[in-house]
Structures are given as C-alpha cells and as structure tokens.
Amino acid sequence: MKIIRNPGFLFLFFYLLGFLGDSPVDAAVKKYQFDVQMKNVSRLCNRKPMVTVNGMFPGPTVYAREGDRVIINVTNHVQYNMSIHWHGLKQYRNGWADGPAYITQCPMQTGQSYVYDFNVTGQRGTLWWHAHILWLRATVYGAIVILPQQGNSYPFPQPYQETNIILGEWWNGDVETAVNQANQLGSAPQMSDAHTINGKPGPLFPCSEKHTFVIEVEAGKTYLIRIINAALNDELFFGIAGHNMTVVEIDAVYTKPFTTKAILIGPGQTTNVLVKTDRSPNRYFMAARPFMDAPVPVDNKTVTAILQYKGIPNTVLPTLPNLPLPNDTSFALDYNGKLKSLNTPNFPALVPLKVDRRLFYTIGLGINPCPTCVNGTNLAASINNITFIMPKIALLKAHYFNTPGVFRTDFPDRPPKPFNYTGVPLTANLGTSTGTRLSRVKFNTTIELVLQDTNLLTVESHPFHLHGYNFFVVGTGVGNFDPKKDPAKFNLIDPPERNTIGVPTGGWAAIRFRADNPGVWFMHCHLEVHTMWGLKMAFVVENGKTPELSVLPPPKDYPSC
C-alpha cells in the first residue's frame, strides 16, 4: 500500500505562513473557483462518472480566518441543476449566499455561474459545504476550516499538526437513478455500498487497498483532527485503535474538553478532537460504522483509514478499534450528555434565559396515496403532520419582493392533536397534510423549540439542522417531553451550542435561539431520505427596525428559476 502523505498538513502549514491566497494587502479576502464537473472515479471494483467540484472527491477545502470575506465563484458544467450550502455559516442578513435550492436561491442551471459572497463573522472552527439539491451531496462536499483571528490561539494546547477527516457514503451505481427509481415505487432508495473516509473506503472493502487514507504521524506529538460527517443517511461512531480522543469543539463551537475512546457524529455535524501519539509506534486503524438503535436497515459496514507512525513499514497489519455496538443507545446518550459549551469570558454561552415563544414540533413518518407510484402509495415524512412541498421559486426571493401565492405563514406551533408520541408503533391513519407552510417570527424573538420523535411507523434518531443560526441544546430525553417536569432539568449555564442536533430515538430535544438574523431559514432532517419525503420547514424571520437589521438586497448575478 502506498502511503499518501497527508496534503492537508502541508497545505495548512503554508496557509499559516501566509503564502496562500491573496497578497498581504487584501489578505482578508479569500477567493475560490468551484467548477462543478463530471469525473470518472473508481471504487469497490466499479468505475462510474460522478459530479465533483474541480474534479476532486471530496472537493477542495475552503480555508479562511474569522473575520475574512470569502468569495466563491461556482460554475455549473453538469446536466443537473446545482446549488451549494455553506453548512453552519450564519450568513447574517445574507441568505442569498446560504445555498439551499428553492429556499434561498434558484439553482444554477447547466452553464450558469453564481458567486457566493459572504463574511465569516464571529465563527471559528470546522464547518463544511455540500450540494443542496437532489442527492448530489453524495459526491459534492468538502471541508471549511476557519482559523482564529490573527494573534488569537486555540483555547486548548496548540497541536503539532492538524488534518481533516470527512466521513461519507459510496454507491456503486448512479445515486440519482436509484432515487428516481425509489420515487417511482414510492419506497426508500437502496442503501449505500460503503462508507468512506476522505472519499476512500479502506482495505476491508474489495479493490480498496489502494483507496485507503493514511495519516503519517510522529511519536510524542499532539494532532488536531477535524471530523465531518458528510454521510447522507447514517449517524456514525468513529474511533482510533489504541488512542483516546479529547473532544474540544463541535459544529465550530469550543467545548469543555473531555476524553473518549469513540465519538458519535450525525450527518451534518462536525467534531474536533486532539489525539496524542503516545502509543508504541505501529499502524492503527481509524474506523467508523453506523449507530442505529431502531428497526431501520442501514449500511452497517466498517470504513477504515490508517494512523501510521513514522518508520513503521507498510507490511505491518493495523489493529482495529473497539467501537460501540451499532445499537449502543447508552453510549450515545452518555456521549451526548458530556458535550458542554466552553462558556468562558472569551467564548461565552449566551443562552436565552427568557423565552418569548415556545414551539413543539413532532417528527414523524407517514404514507400518502400516490396514483403514479407502483405501490399506489409513497412514504412521507412530516413536522406537526405537515409534509413540506418545495416551491417553484426561491422562498427568500418571494419574501423579499412580497410575491403572493408562493408560501403561507401559518405553520402551526404544535401538532394538530396530542397523542402518546412514543408509545406502541402506530401503523394506521398515517396520511399527512401537505403544503409550503412557513413559521413567521418577529425579529429578535427568543424561541424554545422542542423536537419530539414519534412512533409513526417507527421511532428513529433524526439529526435536525437549522440554517442561519446556532442554537443551544438545553435538554434531551427519552420518551414524551413533559412540559411540567422536564424544563426544570434544562441546562441554561453551559449547554452545547451547535447547528445540527440528533433528536434521540423515541425521545426529544429542546433547543433555544434568538431570531436575530432576518430572512428565510430552512430547518430539516439531515437524513437525505427523510428530507426527500418532506421532513422540513422554514422560518421567516422579519426585519428589524433599521436597514442594518434587515435583509441585504439580492446580488446582481442571483439565479432565476
């Protein structure tokens, strides 16, 4: 096996020296060109054409510093419509650069370009970017690394080097074809054929010894590993054989450090860990496999990469880490319970203590009639029993220009009728209502939102992502949320702050945020299969009282539908 010396280490080294990007005069502007193009890629003894950015899989890493302006010109050379989301960037007043197709923009059609122009304000850490249309994010994704402002250091020991690990999924066939076939049937698409680490499945898969990501390390050093879950449908456990990891950041927010043998990371989430190379020099597998504690089929195969100490020959067989069992609910709950904001004077946890508006959203699956489907029905998903219908023009544009008839603003604050949400599985009366219904929010409102899983068809863990905001996870629990008893247990001091929260299987999560970013902001399950079925909605946050608290005008090259 050929060692691929990690280019991320070298790349970051030159970046930190200031050799990357523009001249020192305009160093605060980082410019990138993203060409969306087809590329033939071989994995698992299969070769197929697939959509990439700049012919890379995964795509290029976007590097910036806190406070920088980033300008990314995206040109679409493929037959699919395209839009790209900069996952976790708040895009203050600038939803035009957020990226979800038909929510904040019309997609780029073949031959079109669009410039994503945004400021990185008050954020530093690991985020990521991905296609936000169809299932194209299966191959169109990459890391975003936001370094602290010049002169500022990490609130943890300075690592010797750092690298990115992006967890993904691989299908041997064409993903869009599989999705279209599933929609014609009214069922779920086929599962992926493998998971990947930086686009590579590792030597446990056929034809994959050469498709293995290797980090070469020196003994006695501390490394920062930025881990991103870009998988479409799987929460994943990740660990390194023989080595502990110290969690120091989630979703680009510093945490109180804690040490663990494995992490749990949902689709859309990021986790930064410190790893000390203090074991006997050897080759160690880094591995990931799914967590699923509900009766739902998943691609349960293990992806591996290699942590290799310098001087160790490639002939040495690596050892595997002991990852939690695939259905280890107690590990998942315990791990998530350890996540807490750093909450220091430099990095305070500004949890809203007074709540202006309380929302209670149930998450469920359903079955709706489908005369054109082979099955006569199709699977659906809903929030408060509403399956979201995507509009034909961008919601943000319709909001900004007051275009009538595109959406309604009567999304309910609670489900149509209470029931025993997490009791025995409910398999009758599973129809949902449909519509493009949004929730209107006054500027600067403080919101508490309880996301409640339900046993409609089956309970399942749902990673929910809110665009345009971070939020504080003030509480989670198993079973039905109790509005009388559970709030007394909320953590209002140092709760984890993030942009994507895993709602526990058969349980609930309570989040709080201040609606101080005007615009239209998407909220959806980050399991692509559930998003496709309608497990999504959006908030319309009104402008504040001054132009400085209002949505910016759209850019001149804003795409039209």
| The dihedral formed by the CA atoms of 488, 492, 494 and 496, expressed in degrees to the nearest 10 | 80
What's residue 5's pLDDT? 35
| 522 in the same domain as 374 | yes
The token pair at 338 is 């350890």
Calpha distance 278→409 (Å, rounded): 56
Calpha distance 140→60 (Å, rounded): 10
Residue with tokens 């996301």: 451
The neighbour count for residue 545, using CB atoms within 10 Å, is 9
Closest by CA position to 150, among listed 118, 124, 119: 124
| 315 in the same domain as 259 | yes
Query: E strand or H helix at 543, and its extent?
Result: none
% of residues, the chain, pLDDT over 70: 95
pLDDT digit string (tens) for 227-263?
999 999 999 999 999 999 999 999 999 999 999 999 9
Determine the 3-state secondary structure of 24 from DSSP.
helix
Closest by CA position to 78, among listed 50, 114, 47: 50
What's residue 16's pLDDT? 45
Calpha distance 529→118 (Å, rounded): 29
**514, pLDDT greater than 60:** yes
With beta carbons less than 8 A apart as the criterion, state whether 137 and 528 touch: yes
With beta carbons less than 8 A apart as the criterion, state whether 215 and 251 touch: no
Calpha distance 46→205 (Å, rounded): 12
State which amino acid sits at residue 52: T
In a domain, 388, yes or no: yes
Query: 18 pLDDT band (50/70/90 cuts)?
Result: very low
**387, pLDDT greater than 80:** yes
Q: At a CB cut-off of 8 Å and minimum separation 6, what does 256 contact?
A: 340, 341, 342, 343, 494
The token pair at 397 is 């544009």
The neighbour count for residue 414, using CB atoms within 10 Å, is 14
**112, pLDDT greater than 60:** yes
The token pair at 217 is 């390390």
pLDDT digit string (tens) for 445-493?
999 999 999 999 999 999 999 999 999 999 999 999 999 999 999 999 9
| 498 in the same domain as 364 | yes
**284, pLDDT greater than 80:** yes
In a domain, 348, yes or no: no
Q: CA geometry: angle at 197 spanning 306 and 203, to 5°?
A: 55
Cross-strand bridge partners of residue 467: none
In a domain, 15, yes or no: no
Q: Which of 9-13, 163-167, 405-409 has the lowest mean pLDDT?
A: 9-13
**503, pLDDT greater than 60:** yes
What's residue 7's pLDDT? 42
In a domain, 18, yes or no: no
DSSP character string of 66-131: TT-EEEEEEEE-SSS-B-EEEET---TT-GGGT--BTTTBPPBPTT-EEEEEEE--S--EEEEEEE
What's residue 428's pLDDT? 86
Q: Round to the nearest angstrom and report the end-to-end CA distance of the chain.
A: 48
The neighbour count for residue 23, using CB atoms within 10 Å, is 7
Return the sign of the alpha-carbon dihedral for residues 423, 232, 266, 515.
Answer: negative
**2, pLDDT greater than 50:** no
% of residues, the chain, pLDDT over 90: 93
Per-residue DSSP letter, 408: B
pLDDT digit string (tens) for 322-375?
999 999 999 999 999 999 999 999 999 999 999 999 999 999 999 999 999 998
What's residue 3's pLDDT? 35
Question: What CATH number has the domain bearing residue 78?
Answer: 2.60.40.420
Arithmetic mean of pLDDT, 150-172: 97
The neighbour count for residue 529, using CB atoms within 10 Å, is 19
| 273 in the same domain as 132 | no
What's residue 260's pLDDT? 98
With beta carbons less than 8 A apart as the criterion, state whether 502 and 461 touch: yes
Q: At a CB cut-off of 8 Å and minimum separation 6, what does 371 contact?
A: none
Q: CA geometry: angle at 558 spanning 552 and 559, to 5°?
A: 145
What's residue 4's pLDDT? 33
The neighbour count for residue 280, using CB atoms within 10 Å, is 8
| 285 in the same domain as 188 | yes
What's residue 21's pLDDT? 40
State which amino acid sits at residue 453: D
In a domain, 21, yes or no: no
| 451 in the same domain as 497 | yes
Helices of type H across 270-327: none
| 319 in the same domain as 182 | yes
With beta carbons less than 8 A apart as the criterion, state whether 368 and 380 touch: yes
With beta carbons less than 8 A apart as the criterion, state whether 130 and 85 touch: yes
What's residue 559's pLDDT? 97
| Residue finishing a domain among 119, 147, 175 | 147
pLDDT digit string (tens) for 523-560?
999 999 999 999 999 999 999 999 999 999 999 999 99
3-state helix, strand, coil in the chain (%, to 5): 10, 40, 50
What's residue 22's pLDDT? 39
**9, pLDDT greater than 80:** no
Determine the 3-state secondary structure of 412 from DSSP.
coil
| 361 in the same domain as 387 | yes
| Residue finishing a domain among 147, 169, 197 | 147
Chain centroid, CA 111 distance in Å: 28
| 541 in the same domain as 468 | yes
In a domain, 133, yes or no: yes
Q: How many domains does the chain have?
A: 3
Closest by CA position to 452, among listed 361, 513, 381, 527: 361
Calpha distance 335→329 (Å, rounded): 10
Calpha distance 183→26 (Å, rounded): 49
Arithmetic mean of pLDDT, 176-196: 95
DSSP character string of 236-275: EEEEETTB-EEEEEETTEEEEEEEESEEEE-TT-EEEEEE
With beta carbons less than 8 A apart as the criterion, state whether 246 and 194 touch: no
- Phi-psi region at 111: left, alpha or beta (left = phi > 0; alpha = psi -120 to 50): left
Chain centroid, CA 292 distance in Å: 18
Per-residue DSSP letter, 139: T
Query: 48 pLDDT band (50/70/90 cuts)?
Result: very high
| 382 in the same domain as 248 | no
| 413 in the same domain as 375 | yes
Residue with tokens 């691929």: 4
What's residue 477's pLDDT? 97
In a domain, 13, yes or no: no
In a domain, 327, yes or no: yes
Domain residues for the domain of 76 are: 29-147
| 99 in the same domain as 214 | no
